[in-house]
Structure formats: C-alpha cells, structure tokens
Amino acid sequence: MTRHFLRDDDLSPSELGEVLSLAATLKRSPYDSRCLAGPRTVATIYDKPTLRTQASFAAGIAELGGNPMMVDGSLAGIGKRESVADVARVLGRQASVIVWRTFAQSALEEMAEHAGVPVINALTDEFHPCQLLADLLTIREHKGELTGLTVAFVGDGACNMGNSWLLAGTTAGLHVRIAAPEGHQPEEQYVARAREIAAGTGGSAEVMTDPVAAVGGADVVVTDTWVSMGREDEAAARLAAFGAYTVTAELLAHAAPGAIVLHCLPAYRGKEIDSDVLDGPQSVVWDEAENRRHVQKAIITWLLEVAP
C-alpha cells in the first residue's frame, strides 16, 4: 500500500518519533539518505506563493540525490484544464513522489487516490503538516523533549496552522492551548480529533479566548499571520479582531522561564508579533525555517523506504 502524508495524524505517535529522529540524523549527516539517487524525480506543484516550501524542498530533494521537477499549478490548470485524477496519473508516471501546495484538502486527497506514488501535503487550507514536523524538531532541539510540554498558539485558531497544531501537538504528547477570538477558533471536528489522540499520548487540547491564560506557564509560544492566503479581502476586519493577540514582550513574560517563540513565516511585524520578540533571544524562527529541509528529507525517505 502506498503511504501518503496528507495531514498530521497520518503518522502515529511512534511513526512521528521515527520521522523526527531521522530528520535529526539527516541534519547532522546531510547525505546519510540517498533515497532519490539515480536521480529520481519529485514533482513539486505550487498553487500558492512560496519561499520556504519551494527552497527547502528543492535543496532537500537535491541532497537526497534526486531531481526536483517544479510544476506551475496555474499553467497545468489542475482541476480546470485537466482533472485532478488525470494529473495524478500523469505525474505518477514521471515522478517518484508528488509534493503539492494548494488550496483544498479534498483535491490533495484525490491526487493521492490516483497518483500511485507517495503524495505529500506542502500546505492546504486545512493543514500544514510539514511545517509542524519542523516545529516539533525545533522544540525537541531546544527543549530536549516533547512529551508533557505546553504549547500556546495565539491568534487565528481557525487556520491550517491551528488545525495542524491540534493534531501534531497531541500526537507528540504536548498540551496544546489555542487562544483565538470568538469566530476564529478551530472547528470542533479538529478539537475532538485532537482530544481523541491526546487520550492515548497523555497530551491535551484546550481552546480559549484569553491570550494571557493561554501563554501562562507555556514552554512554547506560537503565532502566525492573521490574514492567511486567500483571505486578503478580510484584512481590515481581521486586524481589528486580533488586536489583543499580538505576541509582545509583555505577553511573553507570562510564559515559563526559557520559553521559546515559533513563527512559520512570513511574519508581519507589529501585527501578530512585535519585532523585539521575533528578533529577540527567545525566538527560534530561523532554526524552524531551516528545519523544513531536514524534516521534508526525512518524510520523503520514510515514505519511500520505511513506511509499512
């Protein structure tokens, strides 16, 4: 059976640990895996703006011995000029892995159904699982462990990062707190799924409106842009709604001593996060950005060579 990585809970807790350990190994020894030597081709499709995703996949695929084949989603006309299923069948005959950064999770799932090769979610409107692998690796590097730590996600909880934090965080045994205004909190289906996972890992999932309560004693503080791609027409209303959720030095002071700060970038300074926090000693965002390459190499290797 072909395994895919479409959402955070596609990996069991033990599989997540395997992938993170492999990523740590590949960070220390970048050429330990040459699973794409030949070179084999990885199709990378981008329907949304990208910097870290494109750069980290291109560099990582090259380090694995492979060839990144960039596909412009707008030129391909996926789902318009050609059906998703037909594009999947075509690319599956040309590439060993398909990476897709797109809008609808349902389209990604349709791609996986017909591709015949592993498909990796490089971001959809619902989930951002590669980013969460990078976040978890970064936390483990700086805290030495994951299980039992408390993470506070502050800002727009009804976005792909909020959903992914709920699923990946609880899979890793973390206590995940989401602080967001009413109307911008995660859908109940993701909260329920996170609590189901947490029942087996010892983690927990809470949703609240008070950012101070969420950050209180937290080991990790996370935020993301308040205006996700595709929601630009809501920018004014969102900036007004989220004004109290900026990660400032004053808010961060409520966290545990030695707490670290994550942001998946791009960051809008003075909105979801202040510059003195983003550039401050508790920020680990540049490690986080680098770790995209290491975890994506690990998930490609795991899907091709390890996955049951």
Cis amide linkage into residue 39, ω under 30° from 0:
yes
Q: Does the annotation mark 263 as catalytic?
A: no
Q: Is 292 a catalytic residue?
A: yes
CA distance 216 to 205: 15
Of the residues 4, 10, 131, 159, only one is catalytic, namely: 131
What secondary structure letter does DSSP report for 243?
Answer: G
Neighbour-count burial of 40, counting CB atoms closer than 10 A to its CB (0-12 exposed, 13-18 middle, 19+ buried): middle
Residue 185 backbone dihedrals phi, psi, to 5 degrees? -100, 160
Q: Is 296 a catalytic residue?
A: no
Give CA 240 to chain center in angstroms: 26
User: Residue 150 and residue 147: Cα distance in Å, rounded?
Assistant: 9
Residues 6+ apart with CB under 8 A from 13: 171, 172, 173, 197, 200, 201
131 is catalytic: yes
Strand, coil or helix: 296: helix
Number of neighbouring beta carbons within 10 Å of residue 216: 14
Q: Which of 130, 224, 293, 296 does the annotation list as catalytic?
A: 224
Catalytic residue (one of 177, 292, 293, 294): 292
Nearest by Cα to 2 from 124, 111, 84 = 111
269 half-sphere exposure, CB direction, 13 A CA radius: 6
Set 35, 130, 159, 264: catalytic member? 264
35 is catalytic: no
Q: Return the active site residues.
A: 101, 128, 131, 224, 264, 292
